[in-house]
Amino acid sequence: MATQAKATPRKRLLEAAATLTYQHGVGIGVDALCQAAGVSKRSMYQLFSSKDELLAVSLEECAAACAAWLLPAADDDCPPRERILHVFEQVESQAGAPEYRGCRYLAVQIELKDESHPARQVARRVKGKLTAFFRGEAGRGGASDPDLLARQLSLVYDGASARAGIQADNLTGLIAPTISTLLDSAGVR
Amino acid sequence: MATQAKATPRKRLLEAAATLTYQHGVGIGVDALCQAAGVSKRSMYQLFSSKDELLAVSLEECAAACAAWLLPAADDDCPPRERILHVFEQVESQAGAPEYRGCRYLAVQIELKDESHPARQVARRVKGKLTAFFRGEAGRGGASDPDLLARQLSLVYDGASARAGIQADNLTGLIAPTISTLLDSAGVR
């Protein structure tokens, strides 16, 4: 059996930040983060200038995995309608899981009331990419108003993941008819 | 000019909790709450058993004013379609305001990760009333599937207020076509 190298303190801190802020919110303390990562506070402050920076880098580093999970493969050759529906099927597939708390990039923006917080700015940028994905597919799919459809899909995405994340709705039987109605109305067949 | 009686410490604490948690989140400290209310911590703990209880009562007491602002008058004799649209027009009217941070009852549920927190339970109950309002109007309006439409409207409400609250979308030109499409699809004319 190959010996697996232990993750670096930096990586362990980023993972602890990702896990603990998702479970407990951005108010989680530095002590708890360092303890979960098995890293001293002194080491943490050598690696990151502040907890704010740790949160921001953690969100940045989660983005690729989130996108890989959420978005269809760039070269899947599926029509835009299917590619859009794929995103919502992914959200619905998580909605029933007890540990699901909705989209972390929305939660961070709601929790951090200060718009200039570096983690909030990262979250905003990451979410912008999802809207840009919807905008691209809407255009390729011949939507009558691609900008409007992209805003509608972003709105439904945030509403759906938020409501699933607070256990207000399990999304079963909700997402497909809602998205289909909006796509039909926009002329994306 | 009539002399206005100063609000009681209880009322001042509830108002401080409503204002400060909306602006800064539920992590706001007891010291800040007491200072804003001009009430000693000792007095606060005589009036409320904990900060959690203060937050819960504050949300409970905001609910009537929120509903009065959001919902149409019970006896306005307007058709269900108009009564539903009224709710979304109210949200849209706030969306541009710099101090708007979205629905406080959604934010509290996202911020408080513990489902058993008394404030989260109040928030959940208050939000349930909005879904019940939508369900009632959907039924009266002859929706093909009133439960589905109520869930869709709740989802759009949360998505719209969340996105407006984080300045991701000003909602202009977004809400009316989205709700109209869903109402048309459900057969609510």
ipTM for the predicted complex comes to: 0.95
Identify the three-state secondary structure at position A96. Answer: coil
Domain ranges of chain B: 59-186
pLDDT digits (tens, 9 = 90+) for A24-77: 999 999 999 999 999 999 999 999 999 999 999 999 999 999 999 999 999 999
Give the pLDDT band of residue B25 (cuts 50, 70, 90). very high
pLDDT digits (tens, 9 = 90+) for B86-144: 999 999 999 989 899 999 999 999 999 999 999 999 999 999 999 999 999 999 999 99
Structure tokens at A186: 């926009």
Q: What is the pLDDT of residue A4?
A: 58
Which of A88, A91, A166 to probe the B interface (max B CBs under 10 A)?
A166
Q: What is the average pLDDT across B53-65? A: 97
CA-based nearest residue to A52, from A128, A126, A125, A111: A111
Q: What is the pLDDT of residue A1?
A: 45
CA-based nearest residue to B161, from B99, B91, B109: B91
The class of domain B59-186 in CATH terms is mainly alpha
The answer to whether residue B169 scores a pLDDT higher than 60 is yes
- Gyration radius of chain B over CA positions: 19
CA-based nearest residue to A158, from A98, A87, A93, A97: A87
Burial of A102 (0-12, 13-18, 19+ CB in 10 A): buried
The proportion of chain B whose per-residue pLDDT surpasses 70, expressed as a percent, equals 97
Distance CA A7, CA A101 (A): 26
pTM for the model? 0.95
Distance CA B56, CA B50 (A): 10
CA distance A5 to chain B (A): 34
The answer to whether residue B1 scores a pLDDT higher than 50 is no
- How many other C-beta atoms can be found within 10 angstroms of the C-beta atom of residue A2? 4
Residue of B nearest to A175 (CA): B152
Q: Which helix (H) or strand (E) holds A21?
A: helix A9-24
Q: What is the pLDDT of residue B96?
A: 85
Give the pLDDT band of residue B6 (cuts 50, 70, 90). confident
Contact B178 A182 (CB under 8 A): yes
Residue stretches of chain A with pLDDT short of 50: 1
Distance CA A18, CA A34 (A): 13
Instruction: From chain B, pick out residues whose CB is under 8 angstroms from the CB of A154.
Output: 159, 163, 168-169
